[in-house]
Structure 1
């Protein structure tokens, strides 16, 4: 079936659904497949639950004209998203990077929404399914779309760029994330730079942090809008950055006091400032948008519980983000500091080395109590008196909950699969 025909069906609906249990009236259900499920089997249920049409890719499930038969449902979803993108008079900003994508996306949205009707990726729906769903949520009232693109292997960003066709792009950084899939640090740089390649080939524009050597080197032949610290040649010159512990930024006689913790968040804020300035948002509105953004979803949240202050950054972790979070934590002038750190996933053959290296990074911090949780950290346990190693969260819980934690400053950080936000229940 031609994509234009499928698009006409889409226009008659109230939006896309991929879960037959979460159908809104007159949705278009798309029957996707996974290792352990076949969405075609739930297409009839989706119709019965209120869907107007269902896209399927197995002929035996087509029982009437409400079922739209295609060769592959996922491909149809992606093609439908690209087709929809091209029907809209809309500017799209594509965003990727090893760390800080979601926070930066939310900051950009907080700034641009002060002037424009914007829509952005919900949560971290940033993969080969999430990006099409994001695009299909845009409508004729959307003026700027902000699309987060995640990847864990080569050619994935290239594919996502072909789907969303960004007019502008920003790469937050190149860090040690998904090393297993990318094949090492150089693979990460190559994979993320696929965004730059798309922008260059299509005469589009990159936002560039000139303080990042890799960003600077990779964008010399691309249209670019730059920012950096104490460099008047940049489009936006950031004159001062402070963290105590919240990030405070100064530019163009404007001071922004954010609710974000850590120097590693400064460039996320700076990118949002720069993108806002490019699109004509006033400094006053940029300030308002950024100062009213409060992080959630376990990302750099500053919490208080009983007599304790807590930095909860348990959404994800890799060697780069862990190092940045710890560097900031070490510099904070607080007493009774406790770092609760969980294993970092998807590091492949580099995993043992990176976990060992992170432990060594903490060696000289004798005023901090460390709890390392997970089998990868546990494999490198040592006898340092301020370092505690727990093979599982349950082991950690039994030890930690037996001691009352009071008047302390805690950092909680680990990969998503470690679910270290559970620590809040035992503080």
Structure 2
């Protein structure tokens, strides 16, 4: 079946689905395969549960009129998404970066939705499956699409751009993330700037943080719209040491966010800039950012008992960990404790980067509890740092009754599930 024909059938459906547990009536089911499952085996069940069509790639499961046999289900999903994107012909904003992608995407969406009907990536569905699903969730009512793109090796962003064909792009930053796949920070820069390369080649627009030398250098040949100290949009941070929430000043407005840490300043600034570019009123921009409440373990501020908690445990890498610690240092609370979990996907640099974090903590003025096999391998002579090899070791040994009237930072890679600490406090 040609992709044009499949797209006509797709338009008959409410949405697409890849998981029968989340299937809704009149969905188009795509029988994807994974290491431990074969979606083809669920194709008939999907139809019985109300799917309008099931897309399969194994002849043995072509048992009903509503099953559609293709060569490769994943490739078909991607081709359909690319076709649908062209069919809609709406502005698409793509963003990637080492840190802050999802928060920035949420802020941009909150800002633009003050004026436009937007569709944005849900959660962090930002890979070779998530991007197509995001595009296929857009409808004729969508006025602007916002697509988050993640990557852990070269050519991924390039591939995602070939599907989403963005008109605008923003890179949050370049940091020490996914070093195992990218090989080095230079590899990270090369991989992330594949977004710039696409936009430059297609004469599209790049949003640039004018205070980031790498962004400036890599976007020299592009149509740019920038913000920063020396640019048209001069957005300043207003940081109060006694409180973690970030405030910014812009066009004689003060915007107080619910986001913690100076590292979120540029995420907010990008949303302000993009909102301004698309002519969202300043008052609406202020409303959008001030009403945005972070969730899902990202930059959340909580209270349990007598303790204030900064929960930033969705993920971590050396760059984001350092930024979080330096921001935590600036809070002038007398009693502070950082609970940090291992950082993953660092490959050969894992030992060095964990030691760097330990060395940094030694220069700061708060206690730290480090959890994980990588942190356990570090050299530490400081009495203010405690290290546990596993979370179970920490859970059985650490006495939370001694932590009172304190401010706590909780951060680590997703695999460490550091939010479990909340159950112990």
Alignment of 1:93-242 (within 5 A): 93-229=93-229, 231=230, 234-242=231-239
Unmatched 5+ stretches in structure 1: none
Residues 174, 189 of structure 1: 8 Å contact kept: yes
Partner residue of 1:91?
Answer: 91
Count of residue pairs the alignment pairs up: 423
- Residues in 2 aligned to 1:39 and 1:169: alpha-carbon distance in whole angstroms: 34
The superposition leaves residues 171-225 of structure 1 with CA deviations (integer Å, 9 ceiling, x where unpaired) of 0000000000011110000000000000001010000001001001101100000
Task: Indicate the SS of the match to 1:37.
Answer: coil
Whole-Å separation in 2 of the counterparts to 1:212 and 1:132: 30
Residue number in structure 2 paired with 1:59: 59
Match of 1:400 among 393, 398, 401: 398
Aligned residue in 2 for 1:293: 292
Q: Is the 8 A contact 1:401 1:426 kept in 2?
A: no
Gaps of 5+ in 2: none
Give yes or no for the alignment of 1:78 onto 2:75: no
Matches within 5 A, 1:5-84: 5-84=5-84
Partner of 1:312: 311
Contact 1:109/1:118 (CA < 8 Å) preserved in 2? Answer: yes
| Shift, 1:369, TM fit | 1.5
Give the TM-score normalised by the residue count of structure 1. Answer: 0.98
Of 376, 381, 384, the match for 2:382: 384
Correspondence for 1:345? 344
Deviations along 1:55-111, whole A, 9 cap, x unmatched? 000111101220111100000000000111111131110010000000000000110
**Segments of 4+ in structure 1 off by > 6 A?**
none
Instruction: Tell me, yes or no, if the aligned pair for 1:121 and 1:148 is still in contact at 8 Å.
Output: yes
Cα contact 1:225–1:235 (8 A) shared by 2: no
Task: Verify the 8 A CA contact 2:237 2:265 in the aligned structure 1.
Answer: no
In the TM superposition, residue 278 of structure 1 has moved relative to its aligned partner by 0.3
Partner in structure 1 of residue 270 of structure 2: 271
Q: 2-side partners of 1:298 and 1:350: how far apart?
A: 26
Counterparts of 1:321 and 1:262, CA distance in 2: 11
Counterparts of 1:159 and 1:75, CA distance in 2: 12
Of 410, 413, 423, which aligns to 1:412? 410
Aligned position for 2:373: 375
CA contact (8 A) 1:381 1:389 kept: no
Distance 2:279 2:301 in 1: 31
**Secondary structure of 1:9's match?**
helix
- For residues 127 and 43 of structure 2, the distance between their equivalents in structure 1, rounded to whole angstroms, comes to 23
Q: Distance in 2 between matches of 1:339 and 1:417?
A: 18
Instruction: State the alpha-carbon separation in 1 of the partners of residues 126 and 361 from structure 2.
Output: 33
Equivalent in the alignment of 1:364: 363
Q: CA deviation at 1:402?
A: 5.5
Tell me if structure 1 keeps the 8 A contact 2:237–2:246.
Answer: no
Verify the 8 A CA contact 1:298 1:312 in the aligned structure 2.
yes
Structure 2 distance, partners of 1:201, 1:6, is 30
Cα distance between partner residues in 1 of 2:114 and 2:400? 48
Residue 424 (str. 1) matches residue 422 (str. 2): yes
The RMSD of aligned alpha carbons is 1.0
TM-score (normalizing by structure 2): 0.98
Q: Does 1:283 align with 2:282?
A: yes
Measure, in 2, the Cα distance between the counterparts of 1:331 and 1:375: 29
